[in-house]
Structure 1
């Protein structure tokens, strides 16, 4: 892998990971998850966990780090959504 590939992958990883921060913050503050799709976040979180496993298998640090952080962020929203669904 060239330095250019690593830089592009790292920048992409930072952008896609940071994209979830506003949703987590808003969900945490307001506890309003009415606009969040439970099936979508469930499938998405599973997909991110699989990307994490894939990154580990191919030993690709941008993939590993980005998906580890994204998995944590998506899990927070998913758990808040599950909690709000169970409270109904």
Structure 2
């Protein structure tokens, strides 16, 4: 694995994991009133488009990062709906 691939994987992990603290907070407090549904949907749309791009480029680091982000933001969407 090349150094640039490792950098890409680390960057993708850090960026995509940015949603984790919000998932944890929303789950613990059982409150999502301050979360924008439009923001969650917009991020999921962006993740979907990045996934298509990553598939076309066969870019594992990009796909890995999007998979992590997708998990966190789908979780936020579920929590947003559940605690509405």
Alignment of 1:44-55 (within 5 A): 44-55=43-54
Q: Does 1:69 align with 2:68?
A: yes
- Return the TM-score normalized by structure 1: 0.83
Alignment of 1:1-88 (within 5 A): 3-85=2-84
List alignment gaps of at least 5 residues for structure 1: none
> Stretches of 4+ moved more than 6 A in 1?
none
- Return the TM-score normalized by structure 2: 0.86
Q: Higher relative contact order at CA 8 Å, sep ≥6: structure 1 or structure 2?
A: 2
Cα distance in structure 2, aligned partners of 1:42 and 1:64: 19
Deviations 1:33-56 (A, max 9, x none): 111011111111111121112111
List alignment gaps of at least 5 residues for structure 2: none
Q: Supply the RMSD in Å over aligned alpha carbons.
A: 1.6
Q: Conserved in 2, the CA contact under 8 Å of 1:17 and 1:69? A: yes
Q: Tell me how far 1:26 sits from its aligned partner.
A: 1.1
